[in-house]
Structure formats: structure tokens, C-alpha cells
Structure 1
Amino acid sequence: MNDTPGWASPGSAPSDGQEPDASRPTDAAGQNGPAEPADDKRPSSKWSKEQPPPGQWSAPSPQPPGRTPPGAASGWGGQQPPRGPGGYGGGPAGSGWGGPPPAAKPGVIPLRPLGVGEILDGAVSTMRTHWRTVLGISLAVAVVTEILVVLLQGLVLDDSSTAALDDPNATLDEIGRAMSDALLNTGVILLISMLGTIVATALLTTVTSRAVLGKSVTTPEAWRDARPQLLKLFGLTFLLPLIALAIVGVGVLPGLLVAVAGGAEAGSALVVLGALAAGVVALWLMIRFSLASPALMLEKQGIVKSMSRSAKLVRGAWWRVFGIQLLATIIANIVASIIVIPFTFLAGALSGNGITGFLDSTGDVGWTFLIISGIGSVIGSTLTLPITAGVTVLLYIDQRIRREALDLELARAAGVQGYAPGAPGTPGS
């Protein structure tokens, strides 16, 4: 294709003070050489034989030193301009051709502010990429926890003491004792499950933080890293529910006092209103402190300091953190239900009075039911623990990237050379 008059070849520039015709071949006497044949197929930068009349066009002006020719800047058919720290040509991000460079991704997430889907995908990618360590930790914790729960339910906890709750002729004393026993049984099971969740969270936090850097970690290495902070994590995990219960207790206390004083109706109304208001306050605080666990584990902070760090990171992003945590919880519960419910029905069909007795609650809960349903619980916990723990850790990292430019530190730790942060925001974030 013939070059357009007044336009240099891509990636080249005329010499200073030199007319475009100067590049044509000349003989020894300085005269123009013979013209090339018209059917020559070789690439040529010569001018077209059909030129406009004189005076209607001018030769390209010489390029000042340091200026890029138009052809090279546009990138048409030639070499692209060098990429600078913020984009092509070394300008600010998004100012050059091609936009800002993609963020570095040494591990399971790109090192920039994350969207909701990227946080969820990062948690799943951690489980998929490092499945031996992740599933090994969650499976071991789930098995130990479920064995303790089954043994307590089968040997220690007495379900017959709660039968009064289903008896319409039971006295108030029997109902009270049955409720106390039911709360005790539920509390013991929740305590064991919470202990297992704490251990799994501590180990999976280390695994996820290394996965962000593209590094793997074995279970013994995760244990050595998490063990010094484990007691503090126990204290934090027990302190947060106590704070929530204390807030709810303060909220319902005025209504209880009014009810005791003789105003039953007014007291009941105050109890309901106080419980609702206290529940809102408790939920707000729990979300504010929801990133305290990764702050405690990864920053090696104390309990109070990790809570204040979480409050600082969540400030201004409460609804976003709440929405992502709620979405991850819903997904985890759906996955667990898909696995646990079939095992529960199978356990009911193989024990007691069969599936009919299981549905109308007339069947006996024996060892067969406990073991089969426990297997389903183990499988469900093995798959859901990494999701919930991973989302919390990635939310913590995302908030620090947004507020403290943690991506630069992560890039250095991952060994990324010449890293520059990408755009400050991402779609859907």
C-alpha cells in the first residue's frame, strides 16, 4: 500500500532538516535514480507517482528532538509505545493507549480493590488450589468435633428429659426443667462446635493469607504460625457473643422490671421493643468487629487492639461488609443443607420407626441416626468452613488494600517486580 503524502512510516521519523524525497535512491552525481517498475511487489516507502499539484501540500516538518512521530504514537502497524508505570507512554493510569496495566495476581486474588464476586471466587480458589491443606484441616476439625458431639449425645445428654416439651399435659415445672435441659444440651453442642470452628479458622486464616501471595503452606506450618495466637482467638470468639448477650439483656431489662412490678402488658411490649432495639445494636457491633479475627491472627494483635482495628477497617463500609458476610453465610448454609438433609432423611429411615416416625418426631434417636447424620455434618462442615473463613480473611485484606495500600506490601512480599497499583476502584465493588 502506498504511503499517504505527509505521513511518515510507522515507527520512523524524517531526519531534521531533510525533505521526504531525500530518502529516495540517488546516483553518484546526486541525480534521482531510475524509477522502480510499477509491478514491483516489494515493500517500499517511496511516494506515489500520482502527486497533487504543487502548492497544495507541504513536506512533513522535521520532528523536534524527543518528540514521537505520529505513526509511532498511534501504534498503527508498528511497535507499541513502551508501557510506563501507570499505562502506555509512562503517563498517569488510563491516559495512554490501552488503559492502565492489569493488577498483579501472584495468588488467588488480584492485588487491587476487590469486587464481591472476586472475594467469593478467591475463597473457592484457595480451597481448589490448596485443597490438600485446606480440606485436610477442615476435615480433621470436622471429624473430631462431630465425634465428640455424637458421643455426648449418645452417652451423656438425655433427650428423654425434653419430652415434656411435646406433652400437652405437662406441668409448668416439667416444662421448665425440659427447657433447661434442652438449653444445656444445645449449649454443650454449640460450645464444642465453636471450639472446632476456632481452630479451623485460625489455621485457614494462615493458609488463605499465603494463598494471596501465591505460596503454599502445609498443615504443620499453619499450626506453628497460628498456635501463638490461638488462646487470644478463643478469648475473642467468646467475648463477642457475651457482648451481644449483654446488650440484649440491657435492652429487655426495663420491660422485665415493668412486668415484675405488675404491668404485664406494658412489660411485654417493652420487652419486645427492647429486644428489637438491642438486637439491632448488637448486629451493628458484631459486623464492626467481624474482621477482628484475621486482624488478630495476621497482625499478631491483642484482643482489644484487633477489635479496634476491625472497627477502623469497617468504618464507612458497614453495609458492604454486612452484605458480603451475609451472602457468604447464605451460600455456606445452602451447600451444607444440600449435603446434610439427605443424610438426615437416610438416618431417619434406617433408625427408629422409619421415615414416618422421623417426620412426626415419634422415632427414637439412636446410634444409627447419630452416626449417619454425623457423617453428613462432617462432609458439610468440610466444604463450608473454608468458604466462611476465606471470605472473612479476603474481606480484611480488601479493606486494607482500600484504606492502607496493602497491595504494595503484598506485591513486595510476593516478589512482584516493578509493581504499580492499578485503578483505585473496580466495577461492582
Structure 2
Amino acid sequence: MSDTPGWTSPGSDPSSEERKTGAAGAAEPTPSDTPPPPSEPTEPTAQPDDAPRNPDAKWAEGQPPPGQWSAPTGAPAPDQTPPPPPGAGWGGRPPAGSGGWGGPGPAAWGNGWGGPPPAAKPGVIPLRPLSIGEILDGAISTMRAYWRTVLGISLTVSVLVQLSLLLLQGVILKDTTSKLSDPDVSPGEALRSLGSITAGTALVGLVSVIGTIVATALLTTVTSRAVLGKQVGIGEAWRESRGQLLKLLGLLMLLGLITVVVLAVGMVPGLVLGAVAGFDAPAVALLVLGILAAVVVVIWLTIRFSLASPALMLERQGVLKSMTRSAKLVQGSWWRVLGVQFLAGIIANIVSALTVIPFTIIAFAVNGENMTSLLGTGGQPAGWSFLLITAVGSVIGGTLTLPIKAGVTVLLYIDQRIRREALDLELARAAGVQGSAPGTTPGPVPGS
């Protein structure tokens, strides 16, 4: 009997037909074949003149060829089949790692048997609780697998932000700096110059905020599709996310307002004491302690609400509801979320520095500027060539770092939902993965 075509069962040998013939012949014993009973010893007494025994003599008709099996310890009965050679027979397992016929055998017990099947991975991450390395790798894999969409979004935003900053530095700041450095400037001209600087800075900040909002919304959509292994273009990402842009703007404004209020509250006691009793040592110490305490609270709130943006975009929540969702997901994992975000920030800053610093050095070499000109502490403002070269470096740095930070935030949000809400099962169904293994969701994984 054979379970698989071309496969021979363990324990069989080429002489199986001979054993079948021998067994059939032994089914009808003759008187000469019947061994004597045990109570009547038949062992003859050795005689000195006996001739040597014939080595080819058989102890039974069904005996296999010499040397095929080991010699039995006793004479078998006529109706018994000779024992099979050592090894696994029907229903037995071959030794661990034995090749057998056709390849290596299975591993030993406990060496891969009984463990859970691997988690499905339809996209850039496996659908199970993620380690820190898998979150970072997922963000980079998204940028690599969807590079046209991801880099197209981040490049567009970076170009717009750097273009506005370039105009501010090359036109507004250059003109106003020259006027403010003139000792004969009138108070009215000085105020107008300061107003121009303020308006230009506000314009650059507004462009930066809008660009960040658009990039965050689009990259959130792209990363969520990358988890499912589905393709998405810039147009499709825009259509899916544009309905939440105003809510995302409101969320960022509210978070910024909370930051300002907390810092102001921390400074109030020191400022009040300084206004009443003078800014002596106690007032200054109280002011510094208040600022430090406010910074700690701001960091705590920032991490607590760090997952509000993907919650707002992917769950179609409102501003306050998304903040509540983020606080719920971060609860109990605050330090882990802080560590992942901090590590992602370090990686993004390193990548940005590695791209900006070489272009800055080239700008100094081409334009002949020195550090004094760069900082604006003396001499002439930086020229256009210097600004253009450094802007190119900043565009490249922003293009590479925006997807990393946005991708890590989205994958961290998905990881927290997998750990708390078994989102992996829902993602597996959405990705069309059949037979997802149960029991792989609970509990952290090594390195998480």
C-alpha cells in the first residue's frame, strides 16, 4: 500500500516477495520441518570425527539470503515470519533527521512539532503583536515598496515648505536685516521691517503646518494599505483622506493650544512671585522649576495623544473622540510608545543630518561664506547660491524623514490595536488571508 505515488513505506525491503513466498510455504508444515518440543533436547553430542557443518545449510525454508538480517536467537516456528530489520515499520516514525528514500526525514519531537503556525504577512508587517524592530522595518519597507507614492507625497510637501522658507530668507529677511543693521533707520521703518519678518515667519509656519497635515493624512492612508499588501496611488490616497483634513487641522491646533496653556501655567507662579517680590533667586528658581514641570507634563500629554492622528484618519473619528481613543490605546504602554517614538525621532534626525550637512559644506565651499554669515551675526547675509544648495539638502532630508515618522506612528497605532483589540484577525479578513492561526494575538513577542 502506498500513500504517495513513488513513495516506499519505511521498513520494506527488496526481498519482500521472497518473504511472502516463504511465509506461504511455511503455512503447511511437514513432519521433517516440525521442530522437536522443548522438553526433548535434540542437540547431538559432538563427536571427534564429525565433519564440519555446511555453512550454507538453512534453518528454515523461508530464510532470507545470508547477511541480509542478523541471526535470530532461536529457531523460529514454521508459522512465524522472520523479524524485520531494525528501523521503523508501518506506523512508526523514522529516526529524526534520517534521509530515507527521497530526502531528509522529519525533525525530532519538540523540534518544530506542536508550535503555532507563523502569522500571516500580506503586507509590510506580520499580523501579530510587533517588536520595535518590526515597526521600524515596516515603516522603511513601506517607503521602499511604495516609493513612487510615498516619496512623491513627501517630496511635494518638502519642496513647498523649503520654497516658502527660501523666499523668506532670500527676500524678506535679507531686505529687513539690511534695514535693521542701518544705524540711521527710522523707528517707523524698523517697525515695518519687524512686521515683515513676523508676517513672513507666520507664512512659512502656515505652509509648514498645512504641508505636515497633508503629508500625515496621505501617508497614513498609504501605510494602512501597505499593511494589507494593497496598492494605492497619490490620487486614491487623496480621495480617501481629504474628508478628514479639516479635522486633522483642528486636532493639531488643539494639541498646540494645550501645549501653550500647560507651559504658561507652569510659568505663572514664578512670574507672579517675580512681579511681587522682584526676580531674585527664589523667583528665578520657582520659574525654572515651573517650566521643567510643565515640560514634563507636555511630554506626557504628547505621548498620550500621539496616536490620535491615525485614529482620526483610519477610524473616521472626531477630534475629541480621536484623542480619547489615543489615550485608551496608550494606557499601560506609555513608556513603550515613548521609546518607539524617541527611537524613530533619533533615526529621522540622523538621516536628516547625513543629507543636510554635506550640502551645507558644499554651499560654504561654493559661495565662500563663513559661519558668521550663516548665523547672521555680522557681515553680509547669505547669498542665493548658499540658500539654494542648503535648500536642496533640506528637501532631500525632509523627503526621507517624513515617511519614517508618519509610518512609525501608524504602525504603532496598529500594533496597539492588535495587542488590545485583536485587530490582526480583522486585518487578515480584509486582506483575504484564509486560515489565520488563532492564539497568535495575545501577549508580547520577544524584543517588544
Query: TM-score normalised to the size of structure 1?
Result: 0.77
C-alpha displacement of 1:237? 1.4
CA deviations on 1:196-248 (whole Å, 9 max, x unpaired) are 11111110111111111111101100000111111111111121121011001
Shift of residue 181, structure 1, vs aligned partner: 7.7
Structure 1's 212 and 264: CA in aligned 2 closer, same or farther, altered over 3 A?
same
- Verify the 8 A CA contact 2:136 2:344 in the aligned structure 1: yes
- Displacement of 1:320: 0.6
- Distance, in Å, in 2 between the alignment partners of 1:330 and 1:35 is 79
1:409 aligns with 2:423: no
**Counterpart Cα distance in 2 of 1:320 and 1:227:** 31
For structure 2, the 5+ residue unaligned runs are: 1-7, 12-18, 29-59, 82-89, 103-107, 183-188
Structure 1 pair 327/206, CA: closer, same or farther in 2 (3 Å)?
A: same
Q: In the alignment, is residue 427 of structure 1 matched against residue 442 of structure 2?
A: no
How far residue 374 of structure 1 moved from its aligned partner, in angstroms, is 1.2
Instruction: State whether residues 27 and 33 of structure 1, in contact with CA within 8 Å, keep that contact through their aligned partners in structure 2.
Output: no
Does residue 189 (structure 1) correspond to residue 186 (structure 2)? The answer is no
Aligned partner of 1:260 in structure 2 is 275
- Aligned mates of 1:371, 1:413 — CA distance in 2: 46
**Paired AA for residue 34 in structure 1:** G
> Does 2:210 match 1:210?
no
2:123 maps to amino acid: G
Matches within 5 A, 1:264-303: 264-265=279-280, 266-303=282-319
- RMSD over aligned Cα atoms: 3.8
> 1:254 offset after TM fit, Å?
1.4
8 Å contact kept, 1:213–1:413: yes
**Which of 350, 359, 381 is residue 364 of structure 1 equivalent to?**
381
For the Cα contact (< 8 Å) 1:207–1:222, is it kept in 2? yes
Contact residue 10 and residue 75 of structure 1 kept, 8 A: no
Percentage of matched positions with identical amino acids? 57
For each residue in 1:339-386, what CA deviation from the matched residue of structure 2 results, as whole angstroms up to 9, or x when unmatched? Answer: 1122223223433x5336546743422322222211111111111111
For residues 282 and 162 of structure 1, what CA distance do their matches in structure 2 show?
38
Letter in 2 for 1:30: A
* 8 Å contact kept, 1:349–1:358: no
User: d(CA) in 2 for partners of 1:365 and 1:359?
Assistant: 6
Distance between the aligned counterparts of 1:52 and 1:240, measured in 2? 91
Q: Distance in 1 between the 2:417 and 2:73 partners?
A: 63
Task: Give the Cα–Cα distance (whole angstroms) in 2 for the partners of residues 393 and 25 of structure 1.
Answer: 74
Amino acid at match of 2:170: G
C-alpha separation in 2, matches of 1:252 and 1:177: 31
Alignment of 1:37-186 (within 5 A): 37-38=65-66, 48-51=70-73, 71=93, 97=113, 99-157=115-173, 160-161=176-177, 186=201
Kept in 1, the 8 Å contact 2:120–2:428? The answer is: yes
Aligned to 2:42: none
Structure with higher Rg: it is: 2
Q: What whole-Å deviation, never above 9, does each CA across 1:369-413 have from its counterpart, x for those lacking one?
A: 222211111111111111000000000000001101111011111
Number of aligned residue pairs: 379
Alpha-carbon contact 2:369-2:382 (below 8 Å) kept:
no
Secondary structure of 1:316's counterpart equals coil
Distance 2:9 2:444 in 1: 35
User: What SS does the aligned partner of 1:401 have?
Assistant: helix
- Could you tell me which residue of structure 2 aligns to residue 398 of structure 1? 415
Counterpart residue type for residue 337 of structure 1: A
SS in 2 for 1:26: helix
Letter in 2 for 1:277: A
Is 1:26 aligned to residue 54 of structure 2?
no
| Contact 1:205–1:294, Cα closer than 8 Å, also in 2 | yes
Distance of 2:160 and 2:411 partners within structure 1: 27
1:201 to 203, 209, 216: 216
Name 2:390's counterpart in structure 1. Answer: 373
